[in-house]
Amino acid sequence: MQRYSVFALVRQAMGWHQGWERAWRSPEPQAAYDAVIVGGGGHGLATAYYLAKNHGMRRVAVLEKGWIGGGNTGRNTTIIRSNYLQDPSAAIYEKARSLYETLSQDLNYNVMFSPRGVMMLAQTQHEVRGYRRTAQANALQGVATEFIGPARVKELCPIIHVSGPRYPVLGALWQPRGGTARHDAVAWSYARGASDLGVDIIQNCAVTGIDVEGGRVTGVQTTRGPIRCGKLGVVVAGHSGVLAGMAGFRLPIESTALQALVSEPIKPCMDVVVMANTVHGYMSQSDKGEMVIGGGADGRNDYTQRGSFSHVEETLRALIETFPMLSRLKMLRWWGGIVDMTGDRSPIISKAPVEGMFLNCGWGTGGFKAIPGSGWAMAELMAKGHSPLASAFGLERFREGRFVDESVAAGVAH
């Protein structure tokens, strides 16, 4: 793999930048692999990378029906945090956050991780109690958070209107080491790293069927021909139920659209991430100056990847109460992604009812922040059959009533 550095940049500039290699290989699919990962988003690519790096599995393929970074990985608001309430959630999200801090160095690709800090506003007494409880839980979990008052909130984010008419800011749960990263760069960096370790990344290759013999997965049918495999990882977010149906079982998830938008670019005015659950919105400012805004998931099930005026209007109307300056901005663009929700708003990282098949889904709106930790845990589960990070998120918990309830701590869109 060609190493990126300032010296390489200068050297390539001397040759009019004609000598750069492709970031990753685009091979034809082989007839068989030790492991096949369906889904070329951040989670799938991270799984393949850690299978190769941590567990020495090199005969691995990632099958993506479209292009790398074209799904939810490129359609989110890039927030990274780990201030969750339940111990299993905090563990896997903190693992992900810590991996993000050195990801650019580990993969030799700038993912633009920015630990600018994340605050979750408390605008009701109920939220104050809830966030104080979460701060205490985080202290026991080793996750650095604190509950701060309105004056500190205003100091960190001067554009906030802390004494709003309906929902004054009573405080916030503050995680200084949370932040953002560049979403497509995360996907590209894992694709480049995995390809360098021998993983085949195969784009425009949709899975049309899953082969099962004697209760065990033996391969997949694709638009580019059949592929045999020893192990199959399904990491396809909102389409997880569709792939499960191909293998003959159902999943306790529902798919719905989640929308986001950006404003026209303006001068820097906000260097933290703010989530406002009561007024139902969250916001940060990108390096290009756009205000990146997200809201709640749609109230109906669908598979669309486009926005709707009614939901954009609802989100902006709510956020303007806390950020009045938004009323003077124009919307630049907006989009939607497909998220998969579980009943307890926690993911599924589990063996499937079909032997040799593994599932990674149900992240809801929290998928991007979890990519490194999710890939780490999924790779360990596929390679060893067990992962401490994933043990609480098994599919059997729904049958046993052993939920990992994050319906409050998961934040706005949950």
Amino acid at 2: Q
Measured distance CA(223)–CA(235) in Å, rounded: 18
What residue has token string 């004609």?
A: 18
First CA to last CA distance, the chain: 40
How many Å apart are CA 351 and CA 369, to the nearest integer?
23
Domains of the chain are 29-82+84-109+183-253+344-400 (3.50.50.60), 118-178+255-341 (3.30.9.10)
DSSP 22: P
Q: Return per-residue pLDDT of the chain as tens, 414 residues.
A: 888 999 999 999 998 999 998 989 999 999 999 999 999 999 999 999 999 999 999 999 999 999 998 888 888 889 999 999 999 999 999 999 999 999 999 999 999 999 999 999 999 999 999 999 999 999 999 999 999 999 999 999 999 999 977 889 999 999 999 999 999 999 999 999 999 999 999 999 999 999 999 999 999 999 999 999 999 999 999 899 999 999 999 999 999 888 889 999 999 999 999 999 888 889 999 999 999 998 877 777 888 777 677 778 888 888 888 999 999 999 998 888 888 989 888 999 999 999 999 999 999 888 999 999 999 999 999 999 999 999 999 999 999 999 998 876 665 544
Pick left, alpha or beta for residue 30 (phi over 0 → left; psi -120 to 50 → alpha; otherwise beta).
beta
Give the list of residues 6+ apart from residue 343 with CB closer than 8 angstroms, or none.
Answer: 252, 398, 403
Strand 225-234 vs strand 216-222: parallel, antiparallel, or unpaired? Answer: antiparallel
Helix (H), strand (E) at residue 92: helix 87-101
pTM confidence score? 0.94
Quote the CA–CA distance of 61 and 222 in Å, as a whole number.
Answer: 13
